Chains A and B, each alone.
Chain A
């Protein structure tokens, strides 16, 4: 599903965020990417949904070479990748409802279907009573759940979650992890980036460790 071959990512002339990273994530896998702050976790995810282009090396997602996709192919590919950004990237001027509806709106679904699915998702995430709020009016944890809602609403092929529990208390963390498991069970390939050792303590899932841009 995701294949990276000798990927390098350098910012400027000497700031190497990723060094010779090769990685293969199979369809239906659940993978943790871990490592200290600045290790390159976010950069790695960015390469996968093509927010950054690899300086060298190849990246294939769902069989497509990211060095050679057209604008339109990339848009279509991104619709099948749900992303929970570390900084959420919610639209501050749109309501919770509109933010979550965005992915469906982009997919061109009819309004009645959009309404139904958004209500369902918001209920599922415990945000039913926040639907008319704007992101700046929400707590960090609530914003995080809105971001998750937007990422999963379209039943994506791949879910990339960057520190999805970073702002949550232990109870909510457990809930979100349960949610991710549920999405995984439904067939989505899940990649979670986190520096939280707690999250990894008693998981039997595959863990990819990054350190200073290299896989260790």
Chain B
């Protein structure tokens, strides 16, 4: 492609946007809404995957003692635990601590506990287990080894938890691809129709260009550039709107799922770049499709 032609095309695209700024503004707004739905879905999807992965990776285990262990026993158990790769000891919870925790959780209803003659809660050791460093069988092995120690009553972790998270992760991926794909197609459909309006409004211009000897390429390329710019602007606007909405949600809502509070993060930079590229490409595809229909007539 010649430089002169490229310069002409860009100049025409800019001039067209400027001359039809109202139509373009409406077009960009429409596209922004279409992209916003898509981007919002991506944002939720990114966070869901992030949370799921986080939960799935760090496994909590509780080692319950038959009775309050003394320091020597406790150190023995801890040494045993640290022999396993990926194990971190979070804290030791004595019987008193456990009671304290329970009272705090009950809040106003803590009075219920006053009737108890003795503390029924067991002492325990909370550990986390990073699954990065070991296979699936390791939590299982660890549980068996620890339960052989005399003073240890029971080791609890949820195998189901792991399996469920893995299943959720898989399902999430499929749902993500399907729903994301559908939303993108919907956005593309809206964009194509928006661009078609701007092209139809310049039908005469296209006809004249062709009558004075312009090739299809000469006529089309400024429109393609225009469509890409429009897509890019619509995509940018959508991201700005999404960010504003995100800030509002983060400021107002305390996200708690179960007992763990989760970080709600915004899209990472590479994701933003990717979405902008996708918006521009959607604009390009949209104008290609609408031009295709037009040139066949």
Tell me whether A75 and B214 are in contact in the complex, defined as CB-CB below 8 angstroms, given that A89-B208, A91-B208, A93-B205 are known contacts: yes
Q: Fill in one digit per residue for B193-211: 1 if any A CB lies within 8 Å of its CB, else 0.
A: 0000000000001001111
Across the interface, B215 reaches (CB within 8 A) one of A71, A83, A85, namely A71
Instruction: Evaluate contact between A78 and B213: CB separation under 8 angstroms.
Output: yes
Instruction: Evaluate contact between A71 and B216: CB separation under 8 angstroms.
Output: yes
Contacts of A8 in B (CB 8 A): none
Bound-state Cα–Cα, A76 to B213, Å? 6
Instruction: Evaluate contact between A83 and B212: CB separation under 8 angstroms.
Output: yes
Size of the A side of the interface (Cβ < 8 Å), in residues, is 28
B161 at the interface (CB under 8 A from A): no
Tell me whether A103 and B205 are in contact in the complex, defined as CB-CB below 8 angstroms, given that A108-B4, A111-B4 are known contacts: no
Q: Fill in one digit per residue for A70-85: 1 if any B CB lies within 8 Å of its CB, else 0.
A: 0110011111110101
Contacts of B252 in A (CB 8 A): none
- Smallest Cβ distance from A51 to chain B, in angstroms? 6
B5 at the interface (CB under 8 A from A): yes
Instruction: Evaluate contact between B211 and A83: CB separation under 8 angstroms.
Output: yes
Size of the B side of the interface (Cβ < 8 Å), in residues, is 18
Instruction: Evaluate contact between B8 and A105: CB separation under 8 angstroms.
Output: yes
CB-contacts of A64-108 with B (<8 A): 71-72, 75-81, 83, 85, 89-91, 93-94, 102-103, 105-108
A156 closest partner in B (C-beta): B213
Contacts of A89 in B (CB 8 A): 208, 211
Contacts of B8 in A (CB 8 A): 105
CB-contacts of B125-162 with A (<8 A): none
Bound-state Cα–Cα, A13 to B214, Å? 32
Contacts of A105 in B (CB 8 A): 4, 8
Provide 8 A-B residue pairs closer than 8 Å at the C-beta atoms, listed in order of the A residue.
A76-B213, A78-B210, A80-B213, A102-B209, A105-B4, A106-B212, A107-B213, A110-B4
